[in-house]
């Protein structure tokens, strides 16, 4: 049973589409993260939010636009993506950003295919 829910689980989109990924955490955490998981590559941190403020933008192209309206919800807005953006996008949350309570809990991910 995960306290981090991601929707949709699967998404197929064309390069000209606009879509959004949604993440919701039910753990009362204050920090949320977006990761990209591509085949045969380590997880790549994309964005970090703490108390709804973005604290990390890991050189992510502007066609990915995050939004954190409150500490329980995180969105990733997608537009004019490229086929190489096809990957599993994982959301995670943690109680706080730093220190021993930065234990990150992950959702099941959204499998994105860009045609």
59 vs 45: CA distance, rounded Å: 10
Query: If binding is defined by CB under 8 A, does position 38 make contact with another protein?
Result: no
3-state helix, strand, coil in the chain (%, to 5): 5, 55, 40
Find the binding residues for another protein in span 92-111 (CB under 8 A): 92, 94, 96-100, 102-109, 111
- If binding means CB under 8 A, how many residues of this protein chain bind another protein? 31
Q: Which of 19, 45, 67, 73 binds another protein (CB under 8 A)?
A: 45
Q: How many CB atoms are closer than 10 A to CB 58?
A: 12
Alpha-carbon Rg for the chain in angstroms: 13
Looking at beta carbons only, is 60 or 96 nearer to another protein?
Answer: 96
Residue with token string 């045609």:
115
What is the greatest pairwise CA distance in the chain? 42
Interface map 58-77 toward another protein (x if CB under 8 A): --------------------
Q: Which residues bind another protein (CB under 8 A)?
A: 2, 4, 6, 31, 33, 40-43, 45, 48, 50, 55-56, 90, 92, 94, 96-100, 102-109, 111
């Amino acid at each position: 049973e995960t306290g981090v829910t991601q929707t949709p689980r699967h998404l197929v989109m064309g390069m000209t589409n606009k879509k959004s990924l949604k993440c919701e955490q039910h753990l009362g955490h204050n920090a949320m993260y977006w990761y990209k998981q591509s085949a045969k590559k380590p997880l790549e941190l994309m964005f970090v939010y703490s108390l709804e403020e973005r604290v990390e933008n890991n050189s992510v192209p502007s066609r990915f636009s995050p939004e954190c309206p409150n500490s329980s919800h995180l969105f990733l807005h997608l537009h004019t993506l490229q086929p190489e953006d096809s990957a599993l996008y994982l959301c995670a949350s943690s109680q706080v950003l730093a220190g021993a309570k930065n234990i990150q809990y992950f959702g099941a991910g959204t499998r994105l295919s860009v045609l």
